[in-house]
Amino acid sequence: MNKTVYVDNNATTAVAPEVTESMLPFFHEQWGNPSSMHTFGGKVKRNVDAAREKVAALIGAEHPSEIIFTSCGSESDNMAIRGSVDAMDGHPHVITTRVEHAAVLGPCHYLEDRGYRLTTLEVDAKGNLDMGKVREASSSGKKTVASIMWANNETGVLFPVPEIAALIKEGGGIFHTDAVQIAGKLPISVKDQPIDLLSISGHKLYAPKGIGALYVRRGTKITPHIMGGHQERGRRAGTENVPYIVGLGTACEMTMATMANDAEHERRLRDRLEAGILATCKGSQINGDVSNRLPGTTNISFEYVEGESILLMLDDVGIYASTGSACASGSLEPSHVLRAMDVPRSMVHGSIRFSFGRYNTEADVDYILEKLPPIIKRLRELSPFAQG
Ligand code: PLP
């Protein structure tokens, strides 16, 4: 009988029941506007403030006022990059990497199209950055805005963000990191690092979709992209999404308490899955630096098979994973992250990402290890390349 096994937690997580519970009073009981002068609104504002403190605590921000609530991780990334570039005099040099999420690459290319100089740093075969190249780019003699992710969403590979931030700051630049995939999975502390801006997203850490936050270090200038009222200290106008803000606060508070256990649990499941796949599926390889990754993420390539075909067959038996590849205009484009890592042609199309979360179990791994090897075997038999 088919089970349902969800192993796509880097795409989104289930909302924790405790999070939903904490949100409910803000729909029908405490539905006031936090900007209102009356006590009905004031009570709601206190809950928004409490949520801000919880988000600040998760990322180790010194002042809750350094947290701006946004609608998602993509908004936080756009706001950080375009907002800090707009607030700088002249045309800063923009630095990023080839393996960023589209929410970072999009605004960087937008700026490049408008005449800003953009440096896109390469990664090596394991997905790591060359720190010499970071240093070179950061000392270009021009003011810089650098946006470099902390954990890669496809491979889980971690960049040494504190060291990178230090190099960028030495060169006088502004440093932003997309921490959407690391927040809640590994401890981070912005007050101890020279990070100016940091993005997080609620739906990667058991809060709902449609809520995010941007950390803006005190003194860092950003031009608001939504102008209007004075919400978020004039940095993002619009009446606050109170229930979701409260939910994000609860999720951050819960995650702080469970992070170490969750990480250990996810690592154990991930490692057992990898060992099982490598032992049973010939021609499989793990992509990315295995000694420097998020605990619950694995990206595995299967030689001479299409990732999309694997996904469809997994879906048929109730296993929900993902592939880095995107089906663009009728052609199957391999993942930009794996291409940047020069994953061989025979492997680059056949990659699957399994990302574990708090609610996965050993039985999920057993089920994948039962269903996946025969799928790979069947697809190999059908592949003209594997036979040739
Ligand atoms: N950055 C990274 C690394 C991500 O993985 C994602 C989502 O997958 C985002 C940004 C965008 O976050 P959101 O879906 O909240 O816009």
Strands (E), the chain: 5-6, 67-70, 93-97, 118-121, 144-147, 174-178, 197-201, 212-216, 284-286, 297-302, 319-320, 326-328, 331-333, 351-355
| pLDDT-above-90 percentage for the chain | 92
CA atoms of 6 and 383, how far apart (whole Å): 27
Residues 46 and 105 in one domain: yes
Tell which one of 8, 75, 97, 153 to mutate to probe ligand 1, the residue whose CB is within 8 A of the most ligand atoms.
Answer: 153
Q: What is the distance in A from the centroid of ligand 1 to the CA of 5? A: 22
Is the CB of residue 122 less than 8 Å from the CB of residue 340?
yes
The answer to whether residues 226 and 297 belong to one domain is no
Question: At 209, which CATH number?
Answer: 3.40.640.10
Q: Enter the tokens of residue 143.
A: 């003011």
Question: What pLDDT digit, counting tens, does each position of 35-52 carry?
Answer: 999 999 999 999 999 999
Distance from the CA of 101 to the center of ligand 1, in angstroms?
Answer: 7
pTM equals 0.96
pLDDT for the residue numbered 200: 98
Do 166 and 315 fall within a single domain?
A: no
The pLDDT mean for the chain works out to 95
For 78-95, the pLDDT digits (tens) are 999 999 999 998 899 999
- Residue-level length of the chain: 388
Task: Judge whether 327 counts as a catalytic residue.
Answer: yes
Same domain? 23 vs 9? no
The residue contributing the CA closest to ligand 1 atom 9 is: 73
- Domain match, 306 and 367 both: yes
Q: List residues near ligand 1 (CB under 6 A).
A: 72-74, 77, 101, 103, 149, 153, 178, 180-181, 201, 203, 212
Mean pLDDT of 99-105: 98
Rounded average pLDDT over 232-240? 97
Q: What is the pLDDT of residues 328-359, one digit of tens each?
A: 444 568 899 999 999 998 899 999 999 999 99
Cβ atoms of 59 and 215 closer than 8 Å:
yes
Atom of ligand 1 nearest to the CA of 103: 10
Whether the pLDDT of residue 141 is over 80: the answer is no
From 98, 161, 204, mutation site for ligand 1 pocket: most ligand atoms within 8 A of C-beta: 204
Domain identity same for 168 and 311: no
